[in-house]
């Protein structure tokens, strides 16, 4: 897979980021880092796309996690570095084709990730 610049995200990761921004109704802004891409609402991170082929969303809804599992995905709890990470779930090997094939699910997940970003810290 082609990489952008010497160090930076792979091209397929950038396409996934662009698609997630579209699903957000262009509410997310893209910040490209050396080993990952963050999609932000204001100063807050809502989605993280790593070069290691994982996409992290912030999800509080058990319904959405169950729905993702029913549709064949295996969201994994992320390691907790900060309090907000308790709601971070990683989708391993998520591809653009999978996002497109499950567009409604990922539109809901993106909306949930944005809402979770702005949720009160103790909820």
For 25-69, the pLDDT digits (tens) are 988 888 888 788 899 987 788 888 887 788 999 999 999 999 999
Gap between the Cα atoms of 49 and 68, Å rounded: 18
pLDDT(3) > 70: no
For the entire predicted model, the pTM comes to: 0.85
64 phi, psi to nearest 5 deg? -65, -40
User: How far separated are the first and last CA of the chain, in Å rounded?
Assistant: 40
Residues 4, 11: Cα–Cα separation, whole Å: 6
CA distances from 1 to 71, 76, 98, 101 (A): 27, 25, 18, 21
Quote the mean pLDDT of the chain: 86
Rounded Cα gap, residues 64 and 122, in angstroms: 20
d(Cα 44, Cα 21) in Å, to the nearest integer?
Answer: 15
Exposed / middle / buried, residue 37 (Cβ in 10 Å: 0-12, 13-18, 19+): buried
Q: Which residue has the higher pLDDT, 109 or 34?
A: 109
Give the full edge-to-edge strand order of the sheet including 76-77.
29-32, 36-41, 44-50, 54-58, 88-92, 76-77
Three-state DSSP class for residue 7: coil
For position 121, what pLDDT does the model report?
Answer: 65
> Domains in the chain, start-ordered, CATH in brackets?
11-118 (3.90.1150.20)
For 111-120, what is the mean pLDDT?
87
Compute CA 79 distance to the chain's CA centroid, rounded to the nearest angstrom: 15
């Amino acid at each position: 897979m082609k990489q952008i610049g010497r160090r930076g995200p792979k091209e397929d990761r950038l396409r996934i980021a662009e698609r997630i921004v579209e699903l957000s109704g262009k509410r997310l802004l893209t910040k490209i880092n050396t080993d990952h891409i963050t999609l932000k609402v204001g100063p807050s991170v809502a989605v993280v796309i790593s070069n290691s082929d994982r996409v992290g969303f912030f999800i509080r809804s058990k319904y959405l996690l169950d729905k993702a599992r029913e549709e064949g995905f295996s969201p994994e709890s992320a390691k907790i570095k900060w309090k907000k990470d308790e709601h971070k779930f990683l989708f391993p090997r998520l591809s653009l084709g999978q996002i497109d094939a499950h567009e409604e699910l990922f539109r809901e997940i993106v909306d949930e990730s944005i809402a979770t970003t702005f949720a009160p810290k103790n909820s």
